[in-house]
């Protein structure tokens, strides 16, 4: 029998300070999953969110976003006093959370640095984690330059050396606390027989420490601007395609240097997660390179890197990495051949396969497959059902009846259908478990708005009741 899990971003946990974080609510969520015999908790990237609050445009592929730091943990460490809570809302308030956490980190650091033993511990952490030095320097320089992108910076360490040293050390301190907090959550989850699935974007954000310190690994012009940018051509989600804007990897350079930049990211992720999900896996076989001057993703071309060479080297060096790959959409056969050549677990979604007669009627399962009710990029299951025709709804209800699947509504029946399947892993989104409509969708791909990435729970009571129906 396969494993059953749920999908919920950490930012979507109930949070007392604007967003979900590494506080006691994360442990309560783990307890609830364990009590219902859930095996897996899939999250979204935990890196510092960038443009549009997207975790897929982070300021670093390694660092944690400081909004996730636990106020309660800082208080238990006797580094922080009382902090006013924020009213619980159904949408994450990133601006409020960032302000509160910045103030808390500053106050906690002022207490922390008074103890020489603390500073010795921090120095040791920095030496053992090279990303910390880079990220702390990058984000400090970004603050010096009023948040502007690194290619527009005018002020550097030499302009304010004392401020630079203080702020850089403060950010390093925050990274140490965050790493300790997340490791504690993961250890607690593992102790309760729950594995963590973490998400790794294929691309990195342009305005990131990754690009700033390792420009040679990306396709940049003489002005350090992307010579081409990432996205996908017109597809199911958009007639104009999706223009993500991320810089493209310099595959020639990567090949010459043992794919170090890419492999380091995956290995690092494997130290914090039990299973690593690679977003946009198809780009290891074929990626869409867009002209930066084009306002849409229409003006681009397919390019073909040597993904087989990369994965051969990856598993030679790190044979124990457990990987799931996002292989959704209209793909050329070579993408699936790459997946299967290395026995990588692929993905299927109920919204795109349920009407496939072969899958539904014969109930065929692929052993090395992860089956989803929906992902962060999809309509919620309830929204998808609402958009079906009467005939399609009637057909699904009849087929659920043929399989003796009961439920209060079609959404519940489809989740039970999913969990009944025997793939390696079956994952249901929390928004689907709660039967939430389109106002609770996590993200609309290729769109920047005030709603994306803001889905947030106010509590666990209703979720606990719903989980009892499936486990």
Relative to beta strand 242-247, strand 229-232 is antiparallel
- Active-site residue flag, 450: no
Active-site annotation holder among 25, 73, 279, 412: 279
Q: Which of 25, 73, 199, 326 is catalytic?
A: 326
The rounded distance, in Å, linking the Cα atoms of 297 and 29 is 39
The residue ranges of DSSP E strands in 19-132, in sequence order, are 40-42
CA angle in degrees (0–180, nearest 5) for 259-265-268:
125
Catalytic-role residue among 210, 377, 423, 432: 377
Determine whether 279 is an active site residue: yes
Cβ proximity of 86 and 39 under 8 Å? no
Is residue 412 flagged as an active site residue?
Answer: no
Cβ neighbours of residue 148 closer than 8 Å, sequence gap 6 or more: 142
Q: DSSP of 116-158, one letter per residue?
A: HHHHHHHHHHHHH-HHHHHHHHHHHHHHHTTT--GGG----GG
CA contacts within 13 A on the Cβ side of 331: 20
Check if the beta carbon of residue 361 is closer than 8 Å to that of residue 417. Answer: no
3-state secondary structure 275-325: EEEECCHHHHCCEEEECCCCCCCCCEEEECCCHHHHHHHHHHHCCCCCEEE
Question: H/E element holding 290?
Answer: strand 287-290
In the block, tokens 């080297």 appear at: 313
Sign of CA dihedral 282, 286, 291, 295: negative
Catalytic residues: 279, 326, 377
């Amino acid at each position: 029998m396969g494993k059953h899990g749920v999908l919920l971003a950490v930012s979507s946990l109930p949070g007392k300070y604007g967003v979900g974080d590494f506080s006691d609510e994360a442990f309560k969520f783990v307890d609830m999953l364990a009590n219902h015999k859930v095996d897996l908790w899939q999250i979204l990237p935990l890196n510092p969110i960038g443009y549009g609050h997207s975790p897929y445009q982070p300021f670093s592929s390694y660092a944690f976003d400081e909004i996730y730091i636990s106020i309660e943990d800082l208080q238990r460490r006797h580094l922080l006093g009382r902090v006013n809570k924020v009213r619980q809302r159904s949408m994450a308030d990133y601006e409020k959370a960032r302000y509160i956490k910045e103030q808390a980190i500053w106050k906690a650091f002022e207490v922390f640095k008074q103890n020489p033993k603390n500073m010795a511990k921090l120095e040791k952490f920095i030496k053992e984690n090279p990303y910390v030095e880079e990220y702390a320097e990058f984000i400090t320089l970004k603050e010096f330059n009023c948040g502007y992108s690194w290619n527009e910076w005018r002020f550097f360490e030499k302009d304010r050396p004392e401020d630079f040293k203080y702020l850089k050390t403060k950010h390093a301190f925050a990274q140490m606390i965050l790493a300790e907090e997340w490791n504690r959550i993961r250890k607690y989850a593992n102790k309760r027989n729950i594995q963590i699935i973490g998400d790794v974007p294929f691309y990195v954000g342009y305005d990131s420490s990754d690009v700033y310190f390792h420009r040679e690994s990306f396709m940049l012009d003489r002005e350090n601007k992307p010579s081409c940018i990432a996205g996908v051509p017109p597809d199911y989600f958009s007639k104009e395609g999706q223009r993500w804007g991320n810089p493209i990897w310099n595959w020639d350079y990567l090949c010459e240097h043992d794919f170090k930049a890419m492999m380091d990211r995956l290995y690092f992720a494997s130290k914090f997660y039990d299973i690593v999900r690679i977003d946009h896996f198809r780009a290891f076989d074929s990626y869409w390179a867009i002209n930066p001057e084009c306002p849409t993703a229409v003006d681009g071309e397919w390019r073909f890197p040597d993904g087989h060479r990369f994965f051969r080297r990856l598993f030679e060096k790190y044979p124990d990495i457990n990987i799931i790959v996002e292989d959704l959409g209209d793909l050329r056969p070579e993408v699936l051949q790459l997946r299967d050549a290395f026995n990588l677990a692929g993905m299927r979604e109920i919204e795109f396969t349920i009407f496939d007669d072969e899958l539904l009627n014969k109930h065929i399962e692929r052993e090395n497959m992860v089956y989803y009710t929906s992902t962060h990029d999809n309509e919620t299951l309830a929204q998808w059902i609402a958009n079906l025709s009467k005939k399609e709804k009637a057909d699904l209800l009849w087929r659920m009846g043929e399989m003796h699947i009961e439920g209060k509504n079609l959404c519940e029946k489809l989740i039970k259908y999913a969990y009944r399947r025997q793939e390696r892993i079956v994952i249901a989104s929390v928004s689907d478990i709660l039967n939430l409509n389109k106002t609770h969708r996590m993200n609309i791909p290729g769109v920047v708005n005030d709603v994306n990435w803001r889905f947030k729970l106010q509590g666990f009571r209703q979720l606990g009741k719903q989980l009892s129906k499936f486990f």
